[in-house]
Amino acid sequence: MPYVVTNPATGETGRSYPTFTAEQVETAVAAADKAHREWGTTTTPEERAALVRRAAELHRERREELADLIVEEMGKIREGALGEVDFAADILEYYADNAAEIMRDQQLAIQGDGTAVIRRSSLGALLGIMPWNFPYYQVARFAGPNLIIGNTVLLKHASQCPASAAALEQIFLDAGFPVGAYVNLYISSDQAADIIADRRVHGVSLTGSEGAGAAVAEVAGRNLKKVVLELGGSDPFIVLSTDDLDATAQAAVDARLDNSGQSCNGAKRFIVADELHDAFLEKFVAGLTAVSAVDPTSPDAVLGPLSSVGAAEQLEEQVNRAVAQGATLVAGGTRTGAFFEPTVLTGVTQDMDAYGEEFFGPVAVVYRAADENEAIEIANGTSFGLGSYLYTTDAEQAERVADRIEAGMVYVNLVLADSPELPFGGVKRSGIGRELGYLGADEFVNKKLIRSA
């Protein structure tokens, strides 16, 4: 099945890209293996960093063109598309700036005489399987550190993002990377499984659904390959106290509508202390419903379409099922094509599907919590554990609650604060491993001990 550009805002189809043949897959894997041996293991971190820095510069030089591609492919509002290109460039620059420190020998304190160091070196070719919701950011946080290390990258992008995938491959080639250092793949899931099994490929990183993650991990496990998985979340937004409820409610709106609600670490469940619940709900609903889903090219767009009609239909089914099971639809719930209006549900209980599901779109579930303990119980009451948000004016409470939240990330009194130096990842069914920061650069490396007398 070919990769096809389909504009979710209009339904129009554009360019089509054929799936690779078996011969093309072999050529790609062989090129990545060769590039690792002839480039990744023979160049210095500083030399590789110069190429990554040039790739960042090309992102900035081509930001308008790159933004236009993902507005068309997955309906991202244009301001968000431009911001994503900039953030991807920031990530690449971060790794270029810190390449020497990332690859520096780690001296160990040892018992007895002599010395011991941990020396980091590349593993080889890696497969990245990336999602449609952040076509540039996701690639930067995988490719950036691994190219610094000397690993080479085989990149399977989502089938609805073929044009932006091609544009990224061209950027890395134009930056001066050798053929095979970064290779774009138009492949099927079966072909991806074959690549994971190939002995020339040494690891795989996937961002996607739980099902996709389980399938990839199964193949990787059978073939003894390292995996990093980021599998989504249903992040809690806990409000225990605030000295500015208007600002807190607006932060909640911003956190829910980021990327039209299609962000793995977007706030999705809003857990509010009993004494603040009613006032928060009123302000939160007012803020959400003041936003309309519009053409993503509109200069004032905050909320665009979902990535596809199918995605919007799935969200609609989830909302309808929640209501059928007893949840209260406070606002929204209407779909028009791929556009879905901001929606708020209350009254969700543990026996409903909605209690444990991820709503990947502008749908929020608001809970009332009697106290701190109940808020934590609700927050931890899902199989996910990616990010979380906590609002409180009590510093001791912030420390206490942050320790008890089962998540890979806790943001206290702020939202939308991702940054290249901050590690990203989750626990439970939200995934395995970390991306970004120094931890993200320490996943696919050989940490070799060198002990000398």
Residue 237: exposure state from Cβ atoms within 10 A (0-12, 13-18, ≥19) = buried
Tell me whether residue 79 is one of the annotated catalytic residues. Answer: no
Name the active-site residue from 93, 264, 316, 443: 264
- CB 235 within 8 Å of CB 387: yes
* Contacting residues for 394 by C-beta, under 8 A, at least 6 apart: 240, 241
Name the active-site residue from 72, 84, 93, 230: 230
Backbone angles phi, psi at 201, to 5 degrees: -105, 130
Catalytically active residues are 230, 264
